[in-house]
Amino acid sequence: MVSLKQVSEFYSILQSSKTRKLPAIILPGESPILLHHHLTSKLFSTSSIASLPIDPEPSDLSLKLLSILSHPNWQKHPSLRSLITNICPSHVSSLYSSNPNLDPHIALNFFHFIARKSGFKHSAQSHSFLLNILIRSKFFGVCEKIRISMVRSCVCMDDVRLTLDCLREMNRDDNELKFKLTIRTYNELLMMLARYLLIDEMKRVYAEMLSDMVVPNIYTLNTMVNAYCKMGNIVEANVYVSRILQRGLRPDTFTYTSLILGHCRNKDVNSAYNIFLLMPEKGCPRNEVSYTNLIHGFCESGIVDKGINLFKKMREDGCYPTVRTYTVIIDALFKSNRKLEAINIFSEMRKSGCKPNVHTYTVVIDAACKESKLDEGRGMLDEMMGKGLVPSVATYNALIDGYCKEGMMEAAGDILELMQSNNCIPNERTYNELISGFCKMNNVYKAMVLLSEMIKHGLTPGLITYNSLIQGECRLGHLDSAYRLLNLMKENGVSPDQWTYSFVIDSLSKNKRIAEAYDLFNSLKEKGLKANEVIYTALIDGYCKAGKVEDADSLLKRMITDDCLPNSSTYNALIDGFCKEQKMGKAIFLVEDMAQKGVKPTVQTYTILLAALLKGGDVGHAHMVFSQMVSSGNEPDVYAYTVFIHTYCNTGKLKEAEAIVARMIKKGVLPDSLLYTLLVNAYGQLGLLDQAFDILNHMFDTGCDPSHHTYGFLIKHLLKENKNDARLDFVPNVSSVDVADVWKIMEFETVIKLFWKMLEHGCSPNINTYAKLIIGLCKVGRIGVAQRLFCDMNERGICPSDDIYNSLFNCYCKLGMYEDALRLLDAMMASGYLPLLESSNLLVCGLCNEGKKEKAKEVFCNLLQCEYNNDEVAWKILIDGLLKNGHADTCSEFLGMMETMHCQIHPLTYKLLIEGLDAT
């Protein structure tokens, strides 16, 4: 509650703040935000008033109910019919709590009457207020039933606490509304606590029961045994088994079945089996649960065949597999890679009349997705929903995980939407899978949006979340953002691990910031972390790529001294470094050294050696290494074959190259874009342009997307073919032009010729063709040709992709063509695409530099209404953009706009902004 004094003080500060741009007011427990927004949103906004815990509706409706219930035939009252659809448990609670002296007959009858409404379920609270009324009137007979109903109504921890407090209060001897707990209520209470695994509370309730002189029966003691067995605590469970015997009671099937479960949870399946064998001797028939617990124990211990044998013997013992039994077996078979058997059991289950449940379908869907059979998984989801089963979060997650691993992010997003539309709340794993998927597809800004969504829904990002995001930023070379995320995770109480730092060190090394990477590596010890093989390998690779091979070799020796064993990737990085330095003797020594240390050379190891030998013209030794690779059990992959094809193509030996291609296809290794591109260039070099375009057609037919290099080589050879064209007189020595320079000299007419040639050879230009050409042109600033291609594409009815829009937008911004950038921005956002924030930074800063602040403000406002992570907007527009470009005043104003539009940013981001503004 905000006091009048606080309001007065805030008004005073507000008046004095008008002369200063960015006063920061931080209330305890709140994020720092700008003062004017803090006042308007926290003190005086209608949204904050609405969020206060004042809900007049229950009391209003309860008054109407009270009026209706005062009539003799209230069940037939016309007003009740109109109200009944709106009545929820909170209204019933309000009615009873506001009227403790309500006639107990009416209160009880209404309680049962409303419970018959479809979908209505009384809460623990409505039970407690009814009990107060009934006990007050000495209706003890019915109170016992209501009390047990209350215990069974618990659906969350809050309900459990309320029920415990309520029942304990009734049980007090000094309470005027005393109603002592019976053995039945105690048992129900213990079972409820066992369901939530509240073991300490169970012990306390059991002690209270003994204190009340209520004698535990077999149900009481079995509940205690079962609870401890669920936890795998056999020692404590046996304490209560002893008490069963001490009281002259006999352990029954439930007791022994619980002990089987306990031993299985304790990874002692042999003891579980001994109890299973003992049951008939003790006169306790085994039931389906006994069998299922033991089968599950065998399967979890990896003894699947024993589990299956037990499964087959169930019927001989008069037991029939339940849905859980089948599910346990199916799950175990899938996990053991025995897919056909799992599918057969699944079919047998359905034929036997045992209907699969949600868990069964989830197991099957998950297995299909892990096999990349995503259509089957999706079909299974539709089948289960068609049968009226409601998928769980695990069901949806299995499909989302499958789609994300295949890079099918749109399909994964569709499942998320379906999940939410069916009122299934995503959990941390849902978001982690999606974030990881988007990061792997280099759509980190979409992953950052999901981080915001995750926090908004009350979920806590963990180590997996932050590691995925940091890896994604590092993969794109966005090291500033990676460092900011690193700081953000620390602020949120998540400790970075070896993997976190491995991503940053690897990215620093790849970006030739090797000294910085080494400093971070050396700081790990003081952070309480030991460098793992991934970190060492990243640093060794960085040194090698920087030409510091001897330093990399020294680091390998340090790695071994630190008891961190190098793996094949570590050796491969160093072998590659020595090969590039033409120190083949040292490279061969390392291959022998890795074998001696028990690290087997991989296909990549041999490929590195092959590439070095072929580059040096030593084809004979290269073939010997290739034979050694095959004989050592390493099947060559496409890269191993490609090094040979590259050599043959460079020397004009196309027949040899074609023979290698035929050989690899026969071995089941399919060519990739790089290999096809080498062939395209080789044919073009020999003037065999038709054959080069035939290769392009083959790429189209096999679903292999040509790269921008593929099109670059084709255009280069088209230019060479047209070297007598008067339009190309300005190009010196067209035949020897580098493919990277093709984009600088090609004109739109060359593109048209490329398209005609493609059509002649049966491959029609598609979205990928336009994308590769436009992106290639934009990278070198050839916006005129790129624009014409963009128009041509639209005229042909091909919708631009995200990449095309962003390449054009970025090029406009880099060239200072801000009006064109603004027009394109409107078009792309209207088509549902978002501009990259790095490009938006260029536009906003460019407009500010030209004095077009209002236009920059409009762009920024539009960005704030899009699906971006607000921290990223602050980092990349305000900090990396306006502040670094000297627009502190505009930055201050834009930050105010963010707050006015309720864009919450992290306190750490806010701190960075304030420090940046103060520094100016």
Distance CA 706, CA 709 (A): 8
Q: Is the dihedral of CA 873, 878, 884, 885 positive or negative?
A: positive
Amino acid at 771: A
Instruction: Report the pLDDT value the prediction gives residue 59, as an integer from 0 to 100.
Output: 54
Predicted confidence at residue 723, as pLDDT, reads: 62
Position 35 scores a pLDDT of: 30
| Residue 26 contacts residue 39 (beta carbons within 8 Å) | no
| pLDDT value, residue 380 | 95
| Closest C-alpha among 326, 381, 382, 336 to residue 356 | 326
Q: What is the pTM of this model?
A: 0.81
Q: Determine contact, residues 855/822, Cβ cutoff 8 Å.
A: yes
Position 6 scores a pLDDT of 41
Instruction: Give the residue among 677, 738, 662, 734 at the shortest CA–CA distance from 711.
Output: 677
For the chain, how far is it from start to end, CA to CA, in angstroms?
38
The mean of the pLDDT values for the chain is: 88
- Of 885, 807, 822, the closest CA to residue 859 belongs to 822
Please tell me the predicted confidence (pLDDT) of residue 739.
76
- 3-class DSSP state of 34: strand
Check: CB of residue 103 under 8 Å from CB of residue 95: no
- Provide the 10 A C-beta neighbour count for residue 595: 14
Rounded Cα distance, 163 and 102, in Å? 22
Q: Which residue ranges in the chain fall short of pLDDT 50?
A: 1-57, 725-736
Q: Give the model's pLDDT for residue 38.
A: 33
HSE, CB side, 13 Å, CA atoms: give it for residue 505.
26
Of the candidates 109, 108, 117, which has an alpha carbon nearest to the alpha carbon of residue 87? 117
In DSSP notation, 665-691 reads HHTTPPP-HHHHHHHHHHHHHTT-HHH
Handedness of CA 388, 392, 394, 397 (dihedral sign): positive
Residue 909 tokens, joined: 């981001």
Half-sphere exposure at residue 161, Cβ-oriented, CA atoms within 13 angstroms: 3
Cα separation values, 754 from 324, 389, 674, 904, Å: 62, 54, 20, 50
Phi first, then psi: give them for residue 24, nearest 5 degrees.
-110, 120
In a 10 Å sphere around its CB, with 0-12 CB exposed, 13-18 middle and 19+ buried, how is residue 727 labelled? exposed
